[in-house]
Structure 1
Amino acid sequence: MLRGLTILGGCLLLAGCADLKMPQFGKRSAAPQSAISDPLPLPTPELSAPPPKPGATTAEALDTTTPEQRAAVTAAPAAAGGSLGTVVVTLGDPTTPGFWLRSSLVSAPEPGMIKTAGGVTVQVDLMPGEGAAQLSLAAFRAAGLSLTDLPTVEVLKR
């Protein structure tokens, strides 16, 4: 009888594990889950851009923003809000177009800007995120930052 209960209990435990999302050994996901999920809507359409063409591999081909957009986002803003803090930024998904920053400094999408150590400001859409702060390819380029660096930027409300 005790043996039967032990087997039944083990079966119930295993059945409960079926609902857990366990990684499959030997298989790797093509992209992290955050990159697979639908992106959050951007609060400012003028900072968005169309997705890059399939097969794009260079920074120029992946950055689909226009010269006019790049000039507009680096122009002096009318008034900057308060500082949200500073973060070290990594290059975000280069296939996600537009000027954006994902970080844990915000809990909902809102307009903002970054300021580099050299004083360059770039208007961006602030998006909530976890882990390392990620800056879009277009924002990296507009700020004049090297794509291989891990620069520290100040994040401001707009």
Structure 2
Amino acid sequence: MAGLLLTACDGNFSQGGLYKPRADDTVQIEGENGSRPVARPEGAVVKPAATAHTAEQFDTTTAQHRAEATTAGGGVRKLGTTIASLGNPAEAGFWIKTPLVSKLGKGRVEYPATGKSVAVDLIPIDGPKAAGSRVSLAALRLLGAPLTGLPELIVFTE
């Protein structure tokens, strides 16, 4: 009887089963036998769970990640200002997708309304320099910017 029940199982126990790994200590690894939780590599930011619904559930950065992002010098040359919106919340980490850069790089964004800044990955997107940008959920939260608004950010590169 137990064998019959297990053969109907898809092996995805973390998506509604009894075992629910904490987002801060495990990641899902895809393998030949489906996904399985394993210890998170040091410093890795993981993808949010498929069942995430709130900003806290989508923001998988740790306190250490947030501290590093706010204390990192990063970005000394000003690229310009951009009107930003929330990017895909399922894309973890600290990043900005902006037409102000033409290649991947490291930098910083600053939100003048709060005076806060965050080190980010600069990701190029097509469009005129005056076009808007998309920013990660984690970065907007650290900046104290509204998640549903269109904050004006200053973008810097290294």
Q: Would the TM-score normalized by the shorter structure come out above 0.5?
A: yes
For the pair 1:144 / 2:140, whether they are aligned, the reply is no
Displacement of 1:48 after TM fit?
5.9
104, 107, 122: which one aligns with 2:118: 122
The residue correspondences of 1:29-108 to structure 2 (distance < 5 A) are 49-75=45-71, 77=73, 80-108=75-103
User: Which 4+ runs in 1 deviate beyond 6 A?
Assistant: none
Q: Which has the higher strand share?
A: 2
Q: Which residue of 2 aligns with 1:113?
A: 108
Residue identity matched to 2:46: P
Aligned to 1:155: 155
Bigger helix fraction: 1
Structure 1 runs not aligned, ≥5 long: 1-45
Aligned length: 112
Question: For residues 91 and 80 of structure 1, what CA distance do their matches in structure 2 show?
Answer: 21
Q: C-alpha offsets along residues 21-66 of structure 1, whole Å, 9 cap, x if unaligned?
A: xxxxxxxxxxxxxxxxxxxxxxxxx986110011111000001100
Deviations 1:103-143 (A, max 9, x none): 10111110000011132110000000135300000000111
Q: CA deviation at 1:80?
A: 3.6
Mapped partners of 2:44, 2:101: distance in 1: 19
Gapped runs of 5+ residues in structure 2?
1-41
Instruction: Give me the TM-score of the superposition, normalised by structure 1.
Output: 0.66
* Structure with greater Cα Rg: 1
Indicate if the aligned counterparts of 2:72 and 2:119 stay in contact, CA closer than 8 A.
no
Residues 76 and 121 in structure 1, CA contact (< 8 A), matched pair in contact too = no
The 3 A distance-change label for structure 1 pair 94 and 101 is: same
